[in-house]
Amino acid sequence: MKRILYVEDARSQREILKQMLELYGKYEVIIANHGQDGLEKAREIHPDIILMDLRMPIMDGLQAIQELKKDPAVSNIPVVVISAWANKKNREEAIEAGAIKFIEKPTNYNQLLATIKDITEGS
């Protein structure tokens, strides 16, 4: 079973996505409430993939991605940004920080599931 770390401050978003992915049956979803929490959990559990929101309290998603990519112990974990803040600047900054994909909210779950499957299981 693949482990997904989902870093998201909005409870409803976390619960919907966690249920959807776990119902698929191939993923265990671990939740983090903000970037700092996500960074700590990534170092602790070494997930197969990280799904990262951008706008969060304490530490935003861009800062968290930058910190992840500086740490050799977790720098190889693929990060997919999921954000409603999908303007060109935010997309470019996320990719420059080290995210491999940017998915816009509201989330197209078929697209997200295909992206996760491609990343964790290969095409």
6 sits in which H/E element: strand 2-7
Kindly indicate the confidence band of residue 87, based on its pLDDT and cuts at 50, 70 and 90.
confident
Contact by Cβ (8 Å): 54, 62: yes
Kindly indicate the confidence band of residue 73, based on its pLDDT and cuts at 50, 70 and 90.
very high
Q: Which domains does the chain have, with CATH numbers?
A: 2-121 (3.40.50.2300)
Instruction: Write down the pTM of the prediction.
Output: 0.94
Provide the H-helix boundaries in the chain. 11-24, 35-45, 61-70, 88-97, 109-121
Q: Cα separation of 40 and 43, whole Å?
A: 5
Please give the average per-residue pLDDT across 28-42, as a whole number: 97
30 sits in which H/E element: strand 27-32
Please give the average per-residue pLDDT across 81-92, as a whole number: 88
Kindly indicate the confidence band of residue 121, based on its pLDDT and cuts at 50, 70 and 90.
confident
Is the confidence at residue 25, as pLDDT, over 90? no
**Tokens 């996760």 sit on residue:** 116
